[in-house]
Chains A and B, each alone.
Chain A
Amino acid sequence: MKNDVERYTKEINKRLQLPGKLKKRILTELTSEIYGRLDNGENLDDVLESIGSPQEVIEELEANYENESVRFRKGNIIKLTLLSVVALCMAALILNSITSVICPQFIRPTIIGGAHGSTAIFVTYKWSAKELILGLFIKVIVLVFSLLQIFKVSKSLKHKKRV
């Protein structure tokens, strides 16, 4: 029975497009109500039927929080755009790092500073293999994190479309 209640509230939690704090409050109260009614001897199917299917609950809540819901969706779209930019940048930087490890001859040394005159002197710096690998590692972590977030946000937006 506990599993059925958890499945029901999880379904609402997954698809409800409202700010996290509000969603948590609604779900805590809803869960408490379901268990309270079960304690009073009501049948689980009757309780869930009277509250409505997860989809009905979501539609009703989102209709009553129309502005919040729209704002939240817009926020998700902005988040998705920013994450995509970060992921693209990281992918480009990773490609650059890989090239510098595999074909170091294509990478120009970084110019730190210099003096320009009749005799020009420039101080340059070249990344060591250790530094390049560490940088590559950090970029891969950022890329994986961004991709996971993109997947999560787009999944929740897709769910909304289906509802």
Chain B
Amino acid sequence: MIETDMKQLKKGILKILVLKLLFFEKKYGYELLVEMSQKSNGFFKIKEGTLYPILYKLEEDGLVTSEWQFPHDKMRAKKYYSITAEGKSELNELITFWNSLTANVQDFLAEENI
């Protein structure tokens, strides 16, 4: 039960993390998985079955775009995802909300009677 709750909490944050990873440059799926795991010290080690639905939803909502491209010195095309202007603005709003959420939850949990 607790594992499901933890998974749900983590899942809600993934959208912010994916947008953040795309903020400065376009990336392909596997690149996103590796970076997410590295930057979170393995805390957010997700798989393709979780990443793809997030990316497709972000694209459907107009927050990212995708295109097949050949990376330098490679023969095989990869699907690159880029953040849109709308995606950047939504990310900023989400970060503000996240900061307020964590501050409030931390205060709440720090109360002596809990």
Knowing A33-B29, A33-B30, A37-B30, the reply to whether A60 touches B49 (Cβ < 8 A) is yes
A130 CB to nearest B CB, Å: 55
Of the stretches A51-59, A101-109, A117-125, A154-162, the one at the interface is A51-59
Q: Which of B11-63 contact A (CB under 8 A)?
A: 28-30, 47-50, 52-54, 56
Determine if A89 is an interface residue (Cβ-Cβ < 8 Å).
no
Q: Does A8 contact B (CB under 8 A)?
A: no
Distance to closest chain B CB from A50 (angstroms) = 8
With both beta carbons as reference points, the residue of chain A lying nearest to B57 in the complex is identified as: A64
Residue among A29, A59, A64 with most chain B CB within 10 A: A29
Residues A36 and B48 in contact in the complex (CB < 8 Å), given A25-B56, A29-B29, A61-B53: no
If A29-B29, A36-B76, A36-B78 touch, whether A57 touches B48 (CB-CB below 8 Å) is yes
CB distance A36 to B30 under 8 Å?
Answer: yes
Pair A29/B52 contact, Cβ less than 8 Å = yes
B contacts with A, residue count (CB < 8 A): 17
Which residues of chain A are within 8 angstroms of B10 by Cβ–Cβ distance?
A: none
Complex Cα distance, B73 from A39, in Å, reads 11
Instruction: Provide the A27-61 mask, 1 if CB < 8 A to any CB of B, else 0.
Output: 00110110111010000000000111000111111
User: Which residues in A have their C-beta under 8 angstroms from that of B56?
Assistant: 22, 25
Q: How far is the CA of A35 from the CA of B77 in the complex (A)?
A: 10
Q: Count of A-B contacts with CB under 8 A? A: 52
Q: Is the CB of A32 within 8 A of B47?
A: no
Query: B50, A64: Cβ atoms under 8 Å?
Result: yes
- A67-B75 Cα distance, complex, nearest whole Å: 37
Question: A127 an interface residue at 8 Å Cβ cutoff?
Answer: no
A60–B78 CB distance below 8 A: no
Q: Is A26 an interface residue (CB 8 A)?
A: yes
Would you list 24 pairs from A and B whose C-beta atoms are within 8 A, ordered by A residue?
Answer: A25-B56, A29-B29, A29-B48, A29-B79, A30-B48, A30-B52, A32-B79, A33-B28, A33-B30, A33-B48, A33-B78, A36-B74, A36-B76, A37-B30, A39-B76, A52-B47, A52-B49, A56-B49, A58-B49, A60-B49, A60-B50, A61-B52, A64-B53, A64-B54
- 19 new A-B contacts, CB < 8 A, other than A33-B28, A61-B52, A61-B53, are A26-B52, A29-B48, A30-B48, A32-B76, A32-B77, A32-B78, A33-B30, A35-B76, A36-B74, A37-B30, A51-B47, A51-B48, A52-B48, A56-B49, A57-B48, A58-B49, A60-B50, A61-B49, A64-B53
